[in-house]
Amino acid sequence: MKRNLIVFSVLGFALLTAGPVVAHHGFMGMMDLRTPITFEGVITKVEWANPHIVFYVDVVGADSKMTSWRFEGAGPGALTTRGWARTDLKHGEKIKIVGYRAKDGSFVAAARSVTLPDGRTLEAASDGVPPLRAK
């Protein structure tokens, strides 16, 4: 009886957590990973939290219209091992982002790398984002 309780508890936990894990990793399937694009703009908001950082940047397009983009990068732990500090993305600073935009045309993108105002370029990609190809 005790063994059955343990087995059913483990199975129940696995079923409850499987959906969020699949949904979380489905984010990369929404991106056009074949075509990296470059964005330049001003940071308006930063969410430095697990499972991935999210930051918002106002980008002026070719049509001179400003659009607020949402970028997602790796988690804080992964970014820290790549040389990032929590204070690297500051509200009001201009940055350059190379990333992959959403396939549905929304203003969402997966960040591949970020060039900061001090000239440093840091890797920002989550697992599953392909490396940039040398030109």
Q: In the chain, how many domains are there? A: 1
- SS3 category, 7: helix
- pLDDT score, position 131: 59
Whole domain around residue 103: which residue ranges?
31-123
We report the CATH number of the domain holding residue 76 as 2.40.50.140
The answer as to whether 100 is a domain residue is: yes
pLDDT surpasses 70 at 8: no
- Answer whether residue 5 is part of any domain: no
Burial class of residue 112, CB neighbours in 10 A (0-12, 13-18, 19+): buried
Query: How, if at all, do strands 108-115 and 121-123 pair?
Result: antiparallel
Does 115 fall in a domain? yes
* Cα–Cα distance measured from residue 58 to residue 91, given in angstroms and rounded to the nearest whole number: 11
Does residue 104 lie in a domain region?
Answer: yes
Look at residue 16 and tell me if it is in a domain. Answer: no
- Mean pLDDT in residue range 3-30: 54
Question: What is the identity of the amino acid at 125?
Answer: A
- Does residue 83 form part of some domain? yes
- Spatial contact of 41 and 57, defined as CB atoms under 8 Å apart: yes
Tens digit of pLDDT for each residue in 37-96? 999 999 999 999 999 999 999 999 989 999 999 999 999 999 999 999 999 999 999 999
CA–CA gap between residue 125 and residue 78 (Å, rounded): 9
In this structure, is residue 14 part of a structural domain?
A: no
Question: Is 95 a domain residue?
Answer: yes
